[in-house]
Each structure stands twice: as C-alpha cells, then as structure tokens.
C-alpha cells in the first residue's frame, strides 16, 4: 500500500492523498493530450478542441491543488503541534540537575504555545465543514473540466472526428473523472461523519 505510511488512520490525510493521486492522473492525461495535439493529420476541429482540452486539464490540476490546500489547512493543525512541542521540550536525555529550571521554563513556554495552537485548531475545526465544502467544489470543478473536454469530442457528430483521437481523449478524461469521483467520495464521507 503505497500511501499507508502517510495516511495511517487519518481520514483527512486519506482525502488529501486521493486528491494528490488525482493531480498525478491529470498531469499524465495532460502529457498524453499534449502529445496527441502535436500529431500530424489532426483536423482543424480536432486540433482546436485538443488545445481546449489541454487548458481544461490545466484548470483541473489547479482545482485539485486548491482542494489539497483546503484539506491540508485542516491537517496537522495544532494538536500535532502540541505533541511535537512537548516531545521536543521534555527529553529524557536532558540532565535534570543543571537544566531543570531551563527545561521547566521551556516546558511552560511549550504549553503556552500549545494552548495557542489549540485555540487555532478550534478555529480551523469550526471551519472544517466550510473547508470540506470548498474541497468538494474544487474537485467537482476539476471533474467538470474533464467532462467538458469529452463533450467537445462527443456532441459534434458533424465534425467527423478520428475515432482514435476520440478514444485517447475519452480515456484520458475518464482517468481524471474517476480519480475525482474517488476523492469526492472520501471528502464527502469525511464531511458526513465529522
């Protein structure tokens, strides 16, 4: 399981990793479509629509990145910081005699910092629903961009589109849409079970 070490049991990290995988899929699709756009023999319409698809995929990547940011803003906020602060400050290897007073002061400072961080966490968690909705919106927009690209090759039968071009576009966009749907399912699950 390639993502198990980073996700562990953190459902928010799972959402974040799912969107990151979608970004990788969109980048791969972008390379495929970019290469397709450079092939000789494309009709004017195919070339034009392929360029629109490239722009749509770039927009999808941008939307996925915004989704990762919205989710990432909620991860590691403050409770992790509290544990890290105390772990660094209360070290069993510190000599107690000479450093006891300094260690105690450091620990008090760490606790004050942790309290501040916990207050910030409460703000973030209070906004968790809003940020998850943002992540859903961004990921949905990425999926919509992929759908628009497919539409450009599907709904214009009078354009006599090469079936191989259509197949490459459809497969590439299906990857983006599928990965977006997986990410959306995980984010929606997080939203409904918070």
Model pLDDT, residue 83: 47
Q: Could you count the other beta carbons within 10 Å of the beta carbon of residue 4?
A: 10
> What is the pLDDT of the chain when averaged over all its residues?
76
Render pLDDT for 120-164 as a digit per residue (tens, 0 to 9): 555 554 577 888 888 888 899 999 888 888 888 877 777 788 888
Q: Is residue 99 assigned to a domain? A: no
Q: Is residue 66 assigned to a domain? A: yes
DSSP 140-152: HHHHHHHHHHHHH
With residues binned 3-state (H G I as helix, E B as strand, rest as coil), the percentages for the chain, rounded to 5, are: 85, 0, 15
Q: Is residue 39 assigned to a domain? A: yes
Residue positions counted in the chain: 194
Domains held by the chain: number: 1
Output the domain CATH number for residue 177: 1.20.140.40
Q: Is residue 92 assigned to a domain? A: no
More confident residue, 4 or 41: 41
Render pLDDT for 16-67 as a digit per residue (tens, 0 to 9): 888 999 999 999 999 999 999 998 999 989 999 999 999 999 999 999 998 9
Q: Is residue 84 assigned to a domain? A: no
Interior CA angle at 64 toward 27 and 14, to 5°?
105
pTM of the shown model: 0.69
> Any residues with CB less than 8 A from the CB of 191 and at least 6 apart, and which?
129, 132, 133, 136
Torsions phi, psi for 64 (to 5 deg) = -60, -40
Contact present, 29 and 57 (Cβ < 8 Å): yes
Instruction: Residue 170: give the domain boundaries.
Output: 4-75+128-192
Q: Is residue 109 assigned to a domain? A: no
Assign 117 a pLDDT band (cuts: 50, 70, 90). Answer: low
Q: Is residue 44 assigned to a domain? A: yes
Q: Is residue 117 assigned to a domain? A: no
Taking residues 65-77, report their average pLDDT: 77
């Amino acid at each position: 399981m390639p993502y198990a070490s980073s996700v562990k049991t953190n459902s928010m990290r799972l959402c974040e990793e799912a969107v990151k995988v979608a970004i990788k899929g969109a980048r791969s699709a972008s390379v495929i479509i970019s290469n397709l756009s450079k092939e000789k023999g494309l009709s004017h319409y195919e070339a034009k629509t392929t360029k629109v698809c490239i722009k749509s995929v770039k927009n999808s990547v941008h939307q996925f990145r915004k989704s990762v940011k919205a989710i990432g803003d909620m991860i590691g906020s403050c409770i992790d910081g509290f544990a890290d602060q105390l772990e660094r400050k209360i070290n069993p290897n510190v000599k107690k005699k000479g450093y006891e007073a300094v260690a105690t002061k450091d620990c008090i400072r760490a606790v004050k910092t942790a309290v501040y961080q916990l207050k910030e966490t409460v703000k973030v968690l209070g906004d968790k629903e809003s940020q998850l909705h943002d992540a859903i919106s961004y990921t949905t927009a990425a999926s919509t961009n992929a759908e628009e690209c497919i539409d450009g090759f599907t709904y214009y039968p009078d354009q006599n589109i090469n079936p191989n071009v259509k197949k490459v576009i459809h497969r590439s966009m299906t990857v983006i849409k599928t990965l977006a749907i997986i990410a959306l399912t995980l984010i929606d699950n997080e939203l409904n079970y918070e």
